[in-house]
Amino acid sequence: MNRAKNSVFGRGGRVSGMRLRKPWVWTMTRAGLILSLLALVTASIVVRAAYLQLVHKDFLQEQGDERFLRVVEVPAHRGMIVDRNGEPLAVSSPVDSIWAEPKAFLEQHARWPQLAAALGMTAADLEKKLAPDIERQSVNEKPRQFVYLRRHLAPDEARRVLQLDIPGVYAQREYRRYYPDAEVTSHLLGFTDIDDVGQEGLEKTFDTQLRGIPGQKRVIKDRLGRIVEDVENIQSPQPGRKLTLSIDRRLQYQSYRALKAAVMEHNAKAGSAVIVDVKTGEILAMVDQPAGNPNNRADLKSDLLRNRAVTDAYEPGSTVKPFTIAMALESGKWAPASLVDTRGPLRIGRYRVRDVHNYGTLDVTHIISKSSNIGTTKIALSLPAERLWKVFKDIGFGALTGLGLIGEQPGVLRHFNKWGGEIGHANHSFGYGFSVNMLQLAQAYTVLAADGVRRPLTILKRQEPLDPALERRVLSAK
């Protein structure tokens, strides 16, 4: 009994002992294995992190910057153009242009009509703008990274577009040129293109001075291309310099109104007017008709913006007779009271010179007031042609005024040896056979008004008194 009991116990004890110890040992072994693996993984992560942070730090930083850190341009506004009293003639106002990143935007086709409506376009218009990118996508090529959808929207309009929160659609700050006096100054100032670069007039002549220098800043962008943080200001934008003209805004407006009325009254095709300060040579007004509005670029036509005062050369006609008489008085051969028989016609070879009326005998003073072709011709032919040619050259005919205005024509004043004899001499004496522009004629008349002194013209306000060395006596004060 005891042996059997012990035997059973012994067997049971051995069996029972094994069953009690085996699960416990296995559990401990498995826990140790898992802990070892975890420790190994943790150690690997720590080592890898240390390796990346210490050894590959520069590489990783560069890769991160390439994906999220960007250098963007900060626009600079164009310099103002003001009149001599500081009144604005051209200013740049902030606007926003809407652009898209085609890769992301092409996936939003269902929202195109919504965006098009906000932009004042049609879905077909958007598709046309993105046609190259759609074609690239169809042949498994990468679309462009940038395309304008609409330029120069008012900030409020652009804000409404962005509130649609369409992936791939962004806004870019720009500046648009605005001209407060529109047609009144359009011929003189010209205009800028959509990128705010001068194209005509003073905007083009002084483009380098007026144009600003954009700045740069470093920013962080999210995966949708939106700026989430300004990191660093690399270079501050430099606005363009202000341009102060010699123009008087009030005189410019009054001249424009008077010229427009005269053109309409006489049913003329075009007209120009120039006002010059005799003492300084400053141009106080320069206007033309017909005129266009540079603020409405959709209707811009070159013919409406041409500065005819400098681009159109024409035969000046009777407006040059005072200079012919000045030449005669300067010679000493003629005096204001000298008499001339103006009965005509006057025969010069096979040509005839006539007056509108038969004025009989006139003194030199009345030859000007009656505008007698015959009287002027007889006076001119009594002196060498070279003298008349020299006076015309000295007062500025046949040469650019030096203002640098776009499209200025110097006119034509041939050498007196090429005038074609007496008839050519006669024609030049009363304004035919050569050409001038309106600005040259205004400059010539300043010589008469300044007692025979010619002063250089300027379209910029003189900040200092005119240097006497720049003045030139053309005729005696007497």
Catalytic residues: 318
Nearest-angstrom CA–CA distance, 386 and 317: 19
Print burial letters for 180-214: b (CB count within 10 Å at least 16), e (below 16).
ebebbbbbbbbbbeeebebebbbbbbbbeebbbee
| Contact (CB, 8 A) for 43 and 140 | no
Residues in contact with 95: Cβ distance below 8 Å, sequence separation at least 6, in sequence order = 152, 153, 154, 155, 158, 173, 174, 175, 176
Estimate the share of the chain in helix, then strand, then coil, as percent rounded to the nearest 5.
45, 20, 35
3-state secondary structure of 342: coil
Residues in contact with 338: Cβ distance below 8 Å, sequence separation at least 6, in sequence order = 363, 364
3-state secondary structure of 169: strand
Nearest-angstrom CA–CA distance, 300 and 305: 8
Residues in contact with 14: Cβ distance below 8 Å, sequence separation at least 6, in sequence order = none
CA distances from 243 to 179, 265, 270 (A): 14, 36, 29
φ/ψ (deg, to 5) at 352? -130, 135
Where residue 140 falls (left for φ over 0; alpha for ψ -120 to 50; beta otherwise) is left
